[in-house]
Chain A
Amino acid sequence: FLSFGIQDDHRLSTSQLEEKYGTSIDKGLSSTRAAEILARDGPNALTPPKATPEIVKFLKQMVGGFSILLWIGAVFSWISFGIQLAQGAESAFDNLYLGVVLAVVVILTGIFAYYQEAKSTNIMASFSKMIPQQALVIRDAEKKEMPADQLVVGDIVEIKGGDRIPADIRLIAAQGCKVDNSSLTGESEPQSRSCDFTHENPLETRNIAFYSTTCVEGTATGIVINTGDRTIIGRIASLASGVGNEKTPIAIEIEHFVYLVAGVAISIGVLFFIISVSMRYKILDSIIFLIGIIVANVPEGLLATVTVSLSLTAKRMAKKNCLVKNLEAVETLGSTSIICSDKTGTLTQNRMTVAHLWFDNQIYSADTSEDQTTQPFDQSSPSWTALSKIVTLCNRAEFRPGQENLPIMKRVVVGDASETALLKFAEVVLGDVMNIRARNKKVAEIPFNSTNKFQLSIHETDDPNDKRFLLVMKGAPERILERCSTIMINGKEEPLDSEKAEAFQTAYMELGGLGERVLGFCHLYLPENDFPDTYTFDTDSMNFPTSNLCFVGLLSMIDPPRSTVPDAVSKCRSAGIKVIMVTGDHPITAKAIAKSVGIISATSETVEDIAKRLNIPVEQVNRQEATAAVVNGMELKDMSLQELDEILCNHSEIVFARTSPQQKLIIVEGCQRQGAVVAVTGDGVNDSPALKKADIGIAMGIAGSDAAKNAADMVLLDDNFASIVTGVEEGRLIFDNLKKTIAYTLTKNIAELCPFLIYIIASIPMPIGTITILFIDLGTDIIPSVALAYEKAESDIMNRRPRNKKKDRLVNEQLAIYSYLQIGIMQSVGAFVTYFTVYAEQGFLPSTLLGVRVDWENNAINDFEDSYGQQWTKYQRTYLQWTGYTAFFVSITIQQVLYLTGSWWDKNMYY
């Protein structure tokens, strides 16, 4: 799929390359020349995705959400200040201050939101700046270690097993070099690399190693042919960054909420503007009412509260190994309805482990958990003694020295995956393997190769009385069996008749059917007479028997599921989340793992299973009956989108095996067509388009490539699927809690709004001032609403279905009605009773207050009479009005606290 016009360096000969890049294979570039090229091409690093300029981010925060409404309020205030000043009114400055306060509020909340966002981005930035990579380079005829980003085209670099390839490299020498291209192409098997030109396509040819892939084993030397963004990886990365970021579900919800509240604010504002104008209020006064109504309606503190709540959750999730890059993604995980999970590393431990043994005609299971210390199967049989000896001796893998204090499972091993598994298994069961090997000295060895498909070694025995040599062999079971004439049963050699061969076949098929990699083991004690201890074994001429051996047993290995995964999958199930496995691995292995972790439950069957059970051809099976499906990448290729949709719809348990990266993208799109919120896990560069396409991309922190982490919204620091479940729980919790926060915040809006409406209609003295409202919204109410973010989850949080993003809104009809029309009204009534009480106690009985506004606010009346005949100056009245503000304020605050702590929390009110 990558048909980039890459240069034809793979075709050129070594000398042509030297000429082309002006370098020398022995001496490398000169430092000065390298510096020149570095200046020309720039450092060998991927340009990070283009970031929005900070000032733009900042300004966005200043005009987003409710800010625009508040700006309008501020501008109106200033306009009326200007008009009043021009008219020479005394109280003009009140409006100036109000405008300034509104502007300050907007700027402060903007700065706060910006700061929160910057903080969460910084976590990520620090994360991506990992330890700088080093490369071994030949320059000025000297080998030097230098940072990989200093590499330039034409540099000669040396690579060895375990290194990350520092740039695109044309190999000029290689010894047993293998590279892991999985992050680039998704192939899970290591690819061997040599200096031969084997394919026209530069991506297929063996003599090019790509930037960011890893050298698994062997050594190689090569010329750097591309650096930085010009490497293949760089080009994919820039491709992925072209996919635009869309809004997260929570962003949509908040936008919906802002529209709703702004709609209410503006319609009530305009309505009362018209009413007040037609009641012959002055236009200027009407504008001031309008500002008051807007301020009362807009929950100024809410967006800051939401940001704080989200970042609190993000912090909590980071503690549980979910690093959230984008704050809003915290909630997305909660609304996820389909998880497309990778197999290797996410669901499994990503290391081969011995899972089953077969000897004495019996299958034994081995412990495959992460921290095995003992193996519980029956070890008393003499056949096991023989088998264990072969496992120990016929193995080239070794522990790296100096790890004696580490648990066996954590030690680093030099050797391939299956040998490592066998070595660790032997170490657990038998103890010091190295010592056993030393006592059984190796005299000859034929390593595994793909033609003979076996591995063989000849050892002296550790029994001083037994001078015979022991020949041990392991390999593909059918090949091993071919070479055997006897089989060991309970320590005795018995002839291998057809019945025993049948038993072997059954066991082999069974283990293979579990998706496990099976190895056969056999041995032969070489007769002392023919092979005295002075005998020289020649592995080329094979001057020793390799047939008529004695078959001992089978061992099967698998990359076992993580122990936390089955539980996590069942939690996802009960939470109504469909878990789909998408893997590049073999269907049988994939299905076996899917079954063992519960992605395919024990009782469900695929079409093929039903066919097998009923003994009918696959075509005749009623597809509706099958709840599970294992889809091969090859089948997927020929499917139309409708067929894919059908599979996604009809089967609840799906495994996609042998899939390519593009197919992963197709699957994600298919799920999204079903209206699902899709989470995708991935680690390779090839996953990055799917990670971007997904509603929430989850990258693996340990195994993941930088490109995947860049494309993802979340990083699982421990690569563990179970962490996703934690994330889902937190995501749902924050959604519930935000609902509570919003219900809490909206409630007082009515109590803030009613004063204005009553003031306009009934002409009473102003019950609450605009700035007092700001005090409630931004002062007393912030901390309680943040506290709601700490609310514990309802017990059924993980037993509900994921929310339907079209129907289950953050702010729905019930919540708005409940807050506005019920609790809001109750609070208003309470606040008004307080207000009337304060005025009555001071001398103004409620009946006196109605219709009093014009005289009350008249500066020219300084002997205003109250219900008791006392007379008040303007200032004395104003002071009383402020006392009224305080009463109203305290009343709302107390009612809010009661609402918060009250036992009438009825959670069902919100769903």
Chain B
Amino acid sequence: MATLNEKKTCSERMENFRRFVWNPETKLFMGRTLINWVWISLYYLAFYVVMSGIFALSIYSLMRTVNPYEPDYQDQLKSPGVTLRPDVYGHRGLQIYYNASDNKTWEGLVTMLQTFLTEYSPAAQHLNINCTSNTYFIQNTFDGPNNTKLSCKFTSDMLQNCSGIIDPTFGFPEGKPCFIVKMNRIIKFYPGNGTAPRVDCTYVGDESRPLEVEYYPVNGTFNLHYFPYYGKKAQPTYSNPLVAVKFLNITKNVEVKIVCKIIGAGITFDNIHDPYEGKVEFKLKIED
């Protein structure tokens, strides 16, 4: 096998490159004449315009074909996620640490709750109706204004001791803090199969150890008249029902691990991959 390429010096390479960029003899710019470049640019311009057009058309027809009220598939949202307020995340999930005697450590948490509850003020909820029945609020017609469906009112005062109205500090300085548990919205999801789902908080791993909890509203239930959810377009003013939990006997200066599950038919909390499906787990440490 014989050698095929002769070694070129660096200056020769540079010279070759310069010739490539502009060759004065053949009047080639980067290997093409200028007019050739114009044509090729026009070609690609046209090509990409057409491609963009096709893309736009595809997206447009997609938008025209999707149902505006509910998604076509819900196979990935079988069971609702659960979130906690206040939510402070460490490296391994929710970690709520504060010092009861140092108000700087818990003021942030309290503000978080207050901000969260502003959406549940009577003023914010004035468009929603008062519901009293304890069954699913099924609406097959659009009875609300502007061709929408009605939503039930949930105001912060329903959380009683944890509403921030009676105790604006939510019990943090006393070491009996309030937490708010919220269940994620899923369109046309009927939780509990006729019985209202409820929140149940325990210590992780040691469920026999008594954890004294007060639930608001009573029993920690989500009333069935908040379900099903009909989607943003049908229920623009819908707000999730909440359950507040107040821990009464947290040992001080010890990190405790607590899990709040939602008990109810159709809500699973045993997905090992998803720590927030049907339950919320958090660490709590209150110092003096």
Interface residues of A (CB under 8 A from B): 87-90, 245-249, 252, 332, 668, 672, 678, 692-697, 713, 805, 813, 821-822, 825-826, 829, 832-833, 836-837, 840-843, 845-846, 859-860, 862-863, 865-876, 879-880, 883
Which B residues are in CB contact (< 8 Å) with A846? 59, 62-63
- In the assembled complex, the CB of A92 is this many whole angstroms from the nearest CB of chain B, namely 11
Whether B49 sits at the interface, judged by CB under 8 Å, is: no
CB atoms of B55 and A833 under 8 A apart: yes
Interface pair B1/A873, CB less than 8 Å apart = no
Residues of A within 8 A of B76 (CB): 842, 876, 879-880, 883
Q: Are B4 and A249 in contact (CB under 8 A)?
A: yes
| A residues near B62, Cβ cutoff 8 Å | 833, 836-837, 840, 846
Query: How far in angstroms is the closest Cβ of chain B from A167?
Result: 31
* 13 A-B contact pairs sorted by A residue (CB < 8 Å): A90-B91, A247-B5, A713-B1, A840-B62, A842-B74, A859-B89, A860-B89, A862-B276, A865-B185, A868-B231, A870-B231, A872-B81, A875-B273
Which residues of A sit under 8 angstroms from B184, Cβ to Cβ? Answer: 862-863, 870-873
Contact status A695-B1, CB under 8 Å:
yes
Closest 5 CB pairs of A and B: A869-B232, A873-B81, A871-B184, A875-B274, A843-B71
Most central of B1, B71, B275 by chain A CB within 10 Å: B1
Task: Output the least CB separation between B259 and chain A (Å).
Answer: 14
Which of these, A695, A845, A859, contacts B4 with CB under 8 Å?
A695
Give 16 new A-B contacts, CB below 8 A, not counting A843-B74, A869-B229: A247-B5, A249-B4, A678-B2, A822-B47, A833-B55, A836-B62, A841-B66, A846-B59, A860-B87, A862-B82, A863-B83, A869-B238, A871-B81, A873-B184, A875-B271, A876-B77
Q: How many pairs, one residue from A and one from B, have CB atoms within 8 Å of each other in the complex?
A: 141
Q: Which residue of B lies closest to A869 (CB)?
A: B232
CB of A825 within 8 A of CB of B77, answer no
Any A CB within 8 A of the CB of B51: yes
Q: Is the CB of B83 within 8 A of A825?
A: no
Q: 1/0 per position for B260-288, CB-CB distance to A under 8 A?
A: 00000000000101111100000000000
Contacting pair B185 A88 (CB below 8 A): no
SS of B interface (majority): loop
Check B187 for interface membership: any CB of A closer than 8 A: yes
Contact, CB under 8 Å: B71 / A874: no
Residues of B within 8 A of A245 (CB): 1
CB–CB B71/A247 < 8 A? no
Residues of A within 8 A of B44 (CB): 821
Asked if B54 is at the interface of the complex by the 8 Å CB criterion, the answer is: yes
Q: Give CA–CA (A846, B62) in the complex, Å.
A: 10
A255 to B66, CA, bound (A): 49
Q: Decide: A836 and B59 in contact? CB cutoff 8 A.
A: yes
Q: What 0/1 readout, one digit per residue, does chain B (58-73) give for beta carbons within 8 Å of chain A? A: 1100110010011111
In the bound complex, residues from chain B placing their C-beta under 8 Å from that of A843 are 71, 74, 77
User: Is the CB–CB distance between A695 and B2 below 8 Å?
Assistant: yes
Smallest beta-carbon distance A688→chain B, Å: 13
Tell me whether B4 and A873 are in contact (CB under 8 A): no
Is A246 touching B1 in the complex (CB atoms < 8 A)? Answer: yes
Bound-complex Cα distance A696 to B2 (A): 8
Least CB distance, A681 to chain B, in whole angstroms:
15
Question: B142 at interface (Cβ–Cβ under 8 A)?
Answer: no
The chain A residue with its CB closest to the CB of B47 is A822
CA distance A868 to B138 in the complex (A): 18
| Least CB distance, A676 to chain B, in whole angstroms | 11
Given contacts A840-B62, A863-B81, A870-B186, contact A826 B51 (CB under 8 A): yes
A841 touches B72 (CB 8 A): yes
A843, B277: Cα distance in complex, Å: 18
Residues of B234-255 contacting chain A, CB below 8 A: 235, 238
Chain B CB within 10 Å, residue with most, of A694, A862, A883: A862
Give the residues in chain B near A825, CB-CB below 8 Å: 47-48, 51
Interface centre among A248, A832, A866 (most CB of B within 10 A): A866
In the assembled complex, the Cα of A822 lies from the Cα of B63 at a distance in Å of 26
Q: A825-B51, A832-B55 are in contact. Are A870 and B77 (CB under 8 A)?
A: yes
Contact B277 A875 (CB under 8 A): yes
Q: Which residue of B lies closest to A249 (CB)?
A: B4
**CB neighbours of B13 from chain A (8 A):** none
Q: How far is the CB of B272 from chain A (nearest CB, A)?
A: 10
B26 within 8 A of A: no
Check B92 for interface membership: any CB of A closer than 8 A. Answer: yes
- Complex-state Cα separation, A88 to B92, whole angstroms: 9
A687 to chain B, nearest CB (A): 15
The answer to whether A672 touches B2 (Cβ under 8 A) is yes
Interchain CA distance A894-B7 in the complex, whole Å? 44
CA distance A390 to B277 in the complex (A): 109
Q: How far is the CA of A846 from the CA of B80 in the complex (A)?
A: 23
> Closest Cβ of chain B: how far from A753's Cβ, in Å?
16
Nearest chain A CB to B142's CB is how many angstroms away? 16
Contact present for B77 and A845 (CB under 8 Å) = no
- Complex-state Cα separation, A859 to B90, whole angstroms: 10
Name the residue of chain A whose CB is nearest to the CB of B236: A869
Name the B residues within 8 Å of A863 (CB-CB).
81, 83, 182, 184
- CA of A872 to CA of B81, assembled, Å: 7
Minimal beta-carbon separation of B117 from chain A (angstroms): 16
Roughly how many angstroms separate A356 CA and B242 CA in the complex, as a whole number?
113
Contacts of B80 in A (CB 8 A): 871
A246–B4 contact, CB under 8 A?
yes
